[in-house]
């Protein structure tokens, strides 16, 4: 395997998607959560500051309630998220405790970063947690986040949330774990000629074209949101790596400089 330079990032944000935490049949992937807790704890014990941005509240909530389909009504979705977030943080707390690592929950809405006083307060919270060697576990506060006229509270997706958190706390590196190996020249599920790009230094319209759509404010989900996150990190002089999170111990390879996933920066 080809290598990059080992990444010396001191402050790291790790974003993990629902596909890593929940099996396709809706069951919770306890093995992946345990591996994630092990890796993050090992990073902490080696002196790195780590923030974990975790999706999965609704998926875990559906499993907890024995439901098989995501409800369509917003209040029902928010109720499931409230149930799932409680269960998810309980699982995280248990698994991290195995590795003698303390965690704290931080639930955010986008307007927190808009209003100066709340912005300052949440940054102070992050700094205090990190300096106490606590791993903040972050998610959007789905129970209250809505889109209202002149009062936007939703981040849109956790790709954007992770990049906003990373740039606001001056993280050196954002590691985004997804269900794809990295950024390809095309859709690898649709064409065998699609090639994995190991390194992307700049993001332009051509990059968005490869992602299957232009970078507009209407783009949601998929690769476009990941490019937007990478663009935000590059603008803040940070780096982002997109990699497959099926086995969270891939983070060790990323930090060691192994050429896995796609490095933006």
> Which residue ranges are tagged as binding site for ATP?
15, 178-179, 220-226
Strand partners, 200: 264
Binding residues for substrate: 55, 142, 158
Q: Kindly report the CA angle at 212 between 173 and 145, in degrees rounded to 5?
A: 60
Mode of pairing for the β-strands spanning 173-178 and 239-244 = parallel
C-alpha distances in angstroms, 257 versus 19, 45, 129, 149?
A: 25, 19, 28, 45
Separation CA 11–CA 130 (nearest Å): 9
Which pair of structure tokens corresponds to residue 168? 């606001």
Question: Which residue intervals of the chain are DSSP H helices?
Answer: 18-21, 30-45, 57-65, 74-98, 116-131, 158-168, 205-210, 222-235, 250-256
Please, are residues 28 and 21 in contact by the beta-carbon 8 Å criterion? yes
**3-class SS at 152?**
strand
DSSP symbol at 26: S
Strand partners, 137: 52, 105
Binding residues: 15, 55, 142, 158, 178-179, 220-226
Select from 72, 54, 65 the least CA-distant residue to 14.
Answer: 54
Please, are residues 85 and 18 in contact by the beta-carbon 8 Å criterion? no
Q: What is the dihedral of CA 155, 84, 166, 145, to 10 degrees?
A: 20
């Amino acid at each position: 395997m080809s290598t990059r330079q080992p990444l010396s990032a001191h402050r790291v944000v790790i974003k993990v998607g629902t596909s890593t935490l929940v099996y396709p049949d809706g069951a919770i992937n306890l093995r992946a959560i345990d591996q994630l807790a092990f890796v993050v704890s090992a990073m902490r014990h080696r002196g790195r500051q780590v923030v974990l941005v975790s999706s999965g509240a609704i998926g875990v909530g559906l499993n907890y309630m024995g439901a098989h389909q995501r409800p369509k009504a917003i209040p029902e979705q928010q109720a499931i998220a409230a149930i799932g977030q409680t269960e998810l943080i309980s699982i995280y707390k248990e698994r991290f405790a195995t590795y003698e690592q303390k965690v704290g929950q931080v639930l955010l809405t986008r307007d927190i970063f808009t209003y100066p006083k709340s912005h300052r307060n949440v940054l102070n919270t992050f700094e205090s947690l990190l300096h106490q060697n606590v791993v903040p576990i972050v998610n959007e506060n789905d129970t209250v986040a809505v889109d209202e006229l002149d009062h936007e509270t939703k981040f849109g997706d956790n790709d954007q949330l992770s990049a906003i958190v990373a740039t606001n706390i001056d993280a050196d590196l954002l590691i985004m774990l997804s269900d794809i190996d990295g950024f390809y020249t095309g859709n690898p599920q649709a064409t065998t000629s699609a090639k994995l790009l190991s390194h992307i230094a700049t993001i332009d319209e051509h990059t968005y074209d490869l992602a299957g759509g232009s970078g507009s404010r209407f783009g949601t989900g998929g690769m476009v949101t990941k490019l937007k996150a990478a663009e935000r990190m590059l603008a803040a002089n940070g780096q982002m790596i997109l990699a497959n999170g099926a086995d969270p111990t891939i983070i060790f390879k990323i930090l060691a400089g192994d050429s896995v996933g796609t490095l933006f920066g």
